[in-house]
C-alpha cells in the first residue's frame, strides 16, 4: 500500500475512534467541526486528504491536541 494511502487510512481510523469514544455520530462531529458529514465520512475512510486547517478544526471539535490525532 502506498505510504500516502496508509497515512490517510490511519488518520481516518484515529478520527473515527475518537469520535466513537465520545458517542458522536459523523453528523455530530461535522456540526462541531463545521464540515459536512459526508466530508467527515471521507476522512474516516481515508479517502480525503484534509488540510492543516481541517485537522485543527477536527482537533478543536474533539477537544484534543493536534498531535493526538496522529498517535495510536
Tens digit of each residue's pLDDT (9 = 90 or more) over 40-52: 999 999 999 999 9
Q: What is the pLDDT of residues 8-33, one digit of tens each?
A: 999 999 999 999 999 999 999 999 99
- pTM (two decimals): 0.92
Q: Is the pLDDT of residue 1 over 70?
A: no
- Report domain extents, the chain: 3-70
Q: Is the pLDDT of residue 70 over 70?
A: yes
Closest CA to 62 of 35, 27, 33, 38: 33
Write down the CATH superfamily of domain 3-70: lambda repressor-like DNA-binding domains (1.10.260.40)
Q: At 24, phi and psi to the nearest 5?
A: -95, 150
**Segments in the chain forming alpha helices (H):** 3-21, 26-33, 37-44, 52-62
Amino acid at each position: 500500500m502506498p505510504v500516502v494511502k496508509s497515512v490517510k487510512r490511519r488518520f481516518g481510523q484515529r478520527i473515527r475512534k475518537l469520535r466513537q469514544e465520545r458517542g458522536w455520530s459523523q453528523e455530530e462531529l461535522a456540526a462541531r467541526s463545521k464540515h459536512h458529514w459526508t466530508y467527515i465520512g471521507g476522512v474516516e475512510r481515508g479517502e480525503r486528504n484534509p488540510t492543516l486547517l481541517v485537522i485543527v478544526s477536527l482537533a478543536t471539535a474533539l477537544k484534543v491536541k493536534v498531535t493526538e490525532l496522529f498517535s495510536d
